[in-house]
Copies of this chain bind each other. A is one copy, B any other.
Amino acid sequence: MENTKKTTIHDIAEKLNVTASTVSRALNGNPRISDTTRKAVLKTARELNYEPNQIASALRSGRTQLIGMLVPTINRAFFSSIIRGVEEVANSLDYRVIVSQSNEVFDNEENAVKAFLNARVDGIIASIGKNTQQFDHYEQVLERGLPLVLFDRTTPNLQTSQVVIDDYQGAYLATSHLIEQGCTRIAHFTTERKIDIYKERYRGYVNALEDHGIERDETLIFSGNLQLEDGRSHAQDLLNSGADFDAIFSASDYAAMGAMQVLKEKGLKIPEDVALVGFLNEPFTSFTDPPLTSVNQFPIEMGHTAANLFFNALNSEKKEIVPKKTVLQPELIVRASSLKKKS
């Protein structure tokens, strides 16, 4: 402990001949403290370079001003932007954000939540792992009366606030846009995964077709992991099958990108021969050639919303935690990859 001895409320108290209680109250704006005393305390605190020890405060008050934030992968634009959004709101309210990543591994997810609880966070904001089927660790959070907000990857199994974007609407917009551009044979890349968001995108695709009187063709629907390679192989399969198609709506930008590569390699023109739309508005979409039309999910705003829901829950009477589900509206970002009609 060769650190310069930190000043505590006791030092301030001693100097002013009052007790630590008084100092504590003065610093916290308790109305029972006289103006004179309050000012003296604040002045002395400044003079002594006092900095509150949040750990001591946390132990006694039970509030750490920490939010545990769990994401599958920190270094993916979508998630890092959400973290950014949460951090912005949290910081402005003097809360700090602890981040952990699950890497889609259930054990990691469970451990992270436990670690958060041990660190005595005031609550958790999380996106559920792809393979998570069991939610005991989250139940524990709720049982302790802590706010829990789920974003993007949510589950109906937990009675808690969540924020998602309207994947159905995003897919509907994307598909409708392609139809408006004159496409009628629209392929779709999706995944088998049992995650709602992909089901919703699929539903939006199908409904848009139906609403425009276009029959769904199962041979145009491909299921995989939605990575670049999947997009490439789906495109290959499409071409090999000899199927008639004039557009692809991919539930992921990466798969769309894979398709773009293959199509270009085969000498096909985008969007003239095949129009392309992706999903997520990854940063790279504006840099492809042609730039890729995609669906923006406003991740930073999603982070803001998640944080707001969190603080709502935190400040509400514990008795009546009314789980609130917020659905954000996505936006179709139209770029050259889907613009057949030059307007």
Binding site for B on A (CB under 8 A): 1-4, 51-56, 58-59, 62, 64-66, 73-77, 80-81, 83-84, 87, 91, 94, 96-101, 112, 114-115, 117-120, 143-145, 257, 264, 282-284, 287-289, 299-300, 318
Contacts of A115 in B (CB 8 A): 91, 94, 96
Q: Bound state CA distance, A98 and B74, in angstroms?
A: 13
Given contacts A3-B145, A51-B117, A283-B284, 11 further A-B contacts (CB under 8 A): A55-B58, A74-B83, A75-B84, A77-B77, A77-B283, A80-B80, A87-B101, A91-B112, A96-B98, A96-B100, A97-B100
Closest residue of chain B to A82 (Cβ to Cβ) is B75
In angstroms, how far is the closest chain B Cβ from the Cβ of A307?
Answer: 14
CB neighbours of A59 from chain B (8 A): 53, 55-56, 59
Write the chain B residue with the least CB distance to A62: B1
Pick the contact of A75: B83, B91, B117 (CB < 8 A). B83
Distance of A15 from chain B, by nearest CB (Å): 21
* In the complex, chain B residues whose CB is within 8 Å of the CB of A55: 55, 58-59, 64, 119-120
**Is there an interface contact between A75 and B289, defined as CB atoms closer than 8 Å?**
no
Q: List 11 A-B contacts (CB under 8 A).
A: A4-B144, A51-B118, A53-B120, A66-B98, A74-B83, A75-B300, A77-B283, A94-B115, A257-B287, A288-B289, A289-B289
When the two chains form their complex, are residues A96 and B74 in contact, meaning their CB atoms are under 8 A apart? Answer: no
Determine the residue in chain B with the shortest Cβ distance to A253: B287
Are A99 and B97 neighbours in the complex by a CB distance under 8 Å? yes
What residue in chain B is nearest A146 (Cβ atoms)?
Answer: B3
Report the Cα distance A144→B96, complex, angstroms. 21
> In the complex, what residues of B have CB within 8 A of residue A83's CB?
74-75, 80, 99
CB neighbours of A118 from chain B (8 A)? 51-54
B91–A80 CB distance below 8 A: no
CB <8 Å contact, B66 and A75 = no
Chain B residue with the shortest CB-CB distance to A53: B120
Complex-state Cα separation, A299 to B80, whole angstroms: 15
Q: Is the CB of B264 within 8 A of A3?
A: no
Complex interface: chain B residues within 8 A of A62 (CB): 1
Chain B residues, Cβ within 8 Å of A96: 98, 100, 115, 119
Chain B residues with CB under 8 A of A52: 118
Q: CB-nearest residue of chain B relative to A96?
A: B98
Shortest distance in angstroms between A32's beta carbon and chain B's nearest beta carbon? 24
CB distance from A103 to the nearest CB of B (A): 9
Among residues of B, the one whose C-beta sits closest to the C-beta of A119 is B54
**Chain B residues positioned under 8 Å from A84 (CB to CB):** 73-75, 101
- Of all chain B residues, the one with the shortest Cβ separation from A65 is B119
Q: How far is the CA of A56 from the CA of B98 in the complex (A)?
A: 18
A321 → chain B, closest Cβ, in Å? 11
